[in-house]
């Protein structure tokens, strides 16, 4: 997050205690999405983005030393993010833009993944974070909390929600160059506004894993711009309805130091979810991350359970807004969940991975594993299954390294994807 004074923001907030306000109707599909949030996935992604573990781009292993915009590894981080999103079967694009601050080629790079809505494809909700980082020494900017934490949560949301159909289009966006003035998000918001895009709302995550005193306090920043207040209320409802137990402070004159402000500038509704960054006039201190913008912003300082809850809050709110479709009536036609065989995650992996698939109706399913020669290695599932989203956890402890294919036989058709075991 870009560093600015918080004096103004300390004067405007409302304390909301979880479980007290904004009850809403319980949605089983949203609860299922929330339940799918995996702490192991979140931590694994952060560890790779912050250089504690290498990333695999294609077949090459690289350790990311810095995500500072003028460090060559920032583009490696973007490659990794794009590869992960493509692995979920989403439509992914690079958005390049001219950047006078970038000395490595004069361009910045946003990564945008899309899943079209089935009823209102032109109307979009955005879940976003910035993936760049900064320190006084740009050659060592791990940025685990700021903001690999938010980036990993966006990727986890994309992994989960890629297996669902929603009424509204979902965009998962990772912005570049936030640390030097929200450059990437400003470019995106300006372009969207110029082309008349219907952005229904934006949830921005920035620094969501630090909670040293375990009070589970966090901040939601909003402004009286478009439907920002309604987005804030929806987040509070999700926190209460699904018992996430976060203590949320609402800052009604929200900070302009992160990417949601780019959307406010174009009169789009947007909110920011962040750890206890600002404090309040009723509290003499805040739980500010002492490793902010330093080479010590690493995983050891995370409160893992808090991080998981913050990710659940964002993913659950986004799912509520996008409106998950199961089977419903729409203009006298039945809208059904579409068939989907998702890319296994993680991939490559050792030793465990998850295969997610969605069935539009109940039927016979056979899920099998083949080697590169076409030999059947293992049968995972063989039987009748109900309609809906399903997953299978595969442990490759008895399988050697290499390329394999998993195949799903359903309604007399065979669907296949590649997986890589890397021991």
pTM for the predicted model, two decimal places: 0.78
Arithmetic mean of pLDDT, 358-369: 90
Of the candidates 16, 26, 23, 73, the one whose C-alpha atom is nearest the C-alpha of residue 50 is 73
Q: d(Cα 192, Cα 199) in Å, to the nearest integer?
A: 8
The answer to whether domain 7-328 has CATH 3.40.47.10 is: no
Question: Which pLDDT belongs to residue 4?
Answer: 52
E-only strand ranges, 181-313: 198-205, 217-221, 247-251, 270-275
Q: How many Å apart are CA 233 and CA 227, to the nearest integer?
A: 10
The per-residue pLDDT for 339 is 76
Q: What are the two backbone dihedrals, phi and then psi, of residue 376, each rounded to the nearest 5 degrees?
A: -75, 125
Q: Which residue has the higher pLDDT, 161 or 17?
A: 161
What does the pLDDT read at residue 24? 67
What 3-state DSSP class applies to 222? Answer: coil
Average pLDDT over residues 77-87: 93
Cβ within 8 Å of residue 59, ≥6 positions away: none
Give the whole-angstrom CA distance, residue 78 versus residue 126.
Answer: 18
What SS3 state is found at 140?
A: coil
pLDDT > 70: what percent of the chain?
90
Residue 15 above 60 pLDDT? Answer: no
32-57 pLDDT, tens per residue? 999 999 999 999 999 999 999 999 88
Q: Which two tokens stand for residue 355?
A: 């295969």
Query: Which has the higher per-residue pLDDT, 229 or 398?
Result: 229
Domain 339-421 classification at class level:
mainly beta
| pLDDT tens column, 228-283 | 999 999 999 999 999 999 999 999 999 999 999 999 999 999 999 999 976 544 44
CA distance 182 to 196: 21
CB 173 within 8 Å of CB 263: no
User: pLDDT tens digits, residue range 181-190?
Assistant: 999 999 999 9
Q: What are the extents of the domains in the chain?
A: 7-328, 339-421
């Amino acid at each position: 997050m870009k560093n600015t004074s918080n004096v103004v923001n300390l004067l405007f907030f409302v304390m909301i205690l979880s479980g007290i306000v904004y009850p809403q109707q319980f949605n089983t599909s949203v609860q299922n999405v929330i339940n799918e949030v995996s702490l192991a996935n979140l931590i694994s992604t952060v560890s790779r983005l912050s250089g504690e573990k290498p990333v695999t781009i294609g077949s090459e292993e690289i350790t990311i030393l810095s995500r500072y915009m003028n460090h060559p590894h920032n583009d490696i981080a973007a490659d990794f993010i794009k590869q992960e999103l493509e692995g979920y079967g989403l439509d992914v694009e690079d958005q390049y833009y001219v950047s006078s601050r970038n000395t490595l080629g004069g361009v910045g790079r946003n990564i945008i993944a899309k899943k079209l809505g089935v009823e209102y494809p032109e109307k979009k909700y955005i879940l976003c974070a910035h993936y760049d980082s900064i320190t006084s020494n740009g050659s060592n900017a791990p940025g685990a909390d700021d903001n690999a934490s938010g980036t990993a949560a966006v990727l986890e949301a994309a992994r989960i929600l890629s297996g669902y159909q929603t009424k509204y289009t979902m965009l998962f966006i990772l912005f570049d160059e936030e640390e030097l003035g929200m450059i990437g998000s400003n470019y995106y918001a300006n372009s969207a506004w110029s082309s008349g895009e219907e952005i229904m709302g934006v949830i921005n995550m920035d620094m969501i894993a630090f909670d040293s005193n375990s009070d589970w306090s966090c901040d939601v920043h909003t402004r009286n711009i478009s439907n920002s207040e309604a987005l804030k209320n929806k987040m509070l409802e999700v926190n209460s309805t699904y018992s996430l137990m976060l203590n949320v402070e609402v800052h009604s004159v929200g900070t302009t130091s992160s990417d949601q402000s780019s959307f406010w500038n174009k009169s789009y509704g947007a909110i920011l979810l962040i750890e206890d960054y600002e404090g309040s006039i009723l509290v003499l201190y805040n739980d500010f991350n002492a490793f902010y913008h330093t080479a010590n912003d690493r995983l050891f300082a995370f409160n893992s359970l808090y991080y998981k809850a913050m990710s659940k809050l964002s993913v659950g709110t986004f799912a509520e807004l996008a409106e998950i479709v199961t089977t419903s009536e729409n203009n006298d036609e039945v809208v059904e969940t579409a068939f989907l065989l998702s890319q296994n995650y993680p991939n490559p992996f050792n030793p465990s991975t998850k295969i997610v698939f969605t069935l539009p109706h109940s039927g016979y399913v056979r899920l099998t594993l083949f080697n590169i020669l076409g030999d059947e290695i293992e049968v995972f599932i063989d039987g009748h299954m109900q309609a809906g989203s399903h997953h299978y956890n595969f442990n490759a402890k008895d399988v050697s390294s290499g390329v394999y294919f998993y195949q799903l036989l359903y309604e007399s058709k065979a669907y296949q994807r590649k997986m890589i075991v890397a021991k």
